[in-house]
C-alpha cells in the first residue's frame, strides 16, 4: 500500500449579493463569497489537497476560473470530479482534516451537515472527514470580515 499527504488552501472575498456556500451547503448570511464558481473555500481547499496528494497539479489547472464551463459551477461537482481524477491514478481518500477561518457566521452549527454532504459526494464515511472552525481574533482580512479562508490536509492511499 502507498499513502500520500496533500495540503490545500483557499480564500475568497465576502461581498453582498452572493450566496454563502461552505462544505457544499448554503449558509444563512448577509454576504457570500466572490468567485467564478460558487466560491466554496472549504471544498476548494479539499480539492487542492486531493490533487496535490495525487501529484495532479491544482484546482485552477483542472477547473480554471477563465473557463466558461466553470462559470457559476457548484463546488460539489468540482469535488466529485476531483475524486474521479485521483481514482484514475488508483488513489482513494483515507481522511480529510480541514479548518475554516471566519469571524461570522459561526460555522460550528453547520459542521454536521457539511460533513454529511461531503461524505455523500465523495462516497466515504462521515467519520473520515474532520471539519473545524476558528476565527482570527478580529485580525487581518478575516477578522475584518472581508473574506473567509480554509485549509485542508488529506491522506490518500493506493492499493
**Do the bridges between strand 147-158 and strand 2-15 make them parallel or antiparallel, or are there none, so unpaired?**
antiparallel
Annotated binding site for a divalent metal cation: 10, 12, 44
Spans in the chain with pLDDT lower than 50: none
The three cell numbers of residue 78 are 468540482
Task: Enumerate the known binding-site residues.
Answer: 10-12, 36-37, 44, 58-60, 134-137, 141, 144
Which DSSP string corresponds to the chain?
Answer: -EEEEEEEEEEEEEETTS-EEETTEEEP-S-EE-SSS---HHHHHHHHHHHHHTT---HHHHS-TT-GGGTT--HHHHHHHHHHHHHTTTEEEEEEEEEEE-SSS--GGGHHHHHHHHHHHHTS-GGGEEEEEE--TT-HHHHTTSEEEEEEEEEEEE-
**Helix-strand-coil percent breakdown of the chain, rounded to 5?**
35, 30, 35
Domains, the chain, with CATH or none:
2-158 (3.30.1330.50)
Q: How many CA atoms lie within 13 A of 19 on its CB side?
A: 13
Per-residue pLDDT, 88: 97
Contact 14, 143 (CB under 8 A): no
- In the prediction, which pLDDT does 159 show? 74
Other CB atoms within 10 Å distance of the CB of residue 75: 27
Tell me the three cell numbers of residue 77. 461537482
pLDDT of residue 1: 81
Per-residue pLDDT tens for 96-118? Answer: 999 999 999 999 999 999 999 99
Amino acid at each position: 500500500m502507498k499513502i500520500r499527504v496533500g495540503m490545500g488552501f483557499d480564500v475568497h472575498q465576502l461581498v453582498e449579493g452572493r450566496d454563502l456556500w461552505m462544505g457544499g451547503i448554503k449558509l444563512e448570511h448577509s454576504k457570500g463569497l466572490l468567485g467564478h464558481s460558487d466560491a466554496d473555500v472549504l471544498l476548494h481547499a479539499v480539492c487542492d489537497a486531493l490533487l496535490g496528494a495525487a501529484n495532479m497539479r491544482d484546482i485552477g489547472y483542472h477547473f480554471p476560473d477563465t473557463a466558461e464551463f466553470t462559470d457559476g459551477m457548484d463546488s460539489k461537482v468540482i469535488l466529485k470530479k476531483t475524486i474521479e481524477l485521483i481514482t484514475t491514478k488508483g488513489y482513494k481518500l483515507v481522511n480529510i482534516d480541514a479548518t475554516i477561518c471566519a469571524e461570522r457566521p459561526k460555522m460550528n452549527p453547520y459542521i454536521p451537515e457539511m460533513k454529511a454532504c461531503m461524505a455523500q459526494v465523495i462516497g466515504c464515511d462521515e467519520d473520515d472527514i474532520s471539519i473545524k472552525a476558528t476565527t482570527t481574533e478580529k485580525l487581518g482580512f478575516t477578522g475584518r470580515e472581508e473574506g473567509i479562508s480554509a485549509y485542508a490536509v488529506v491522506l490518500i492511499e493506493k492499493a
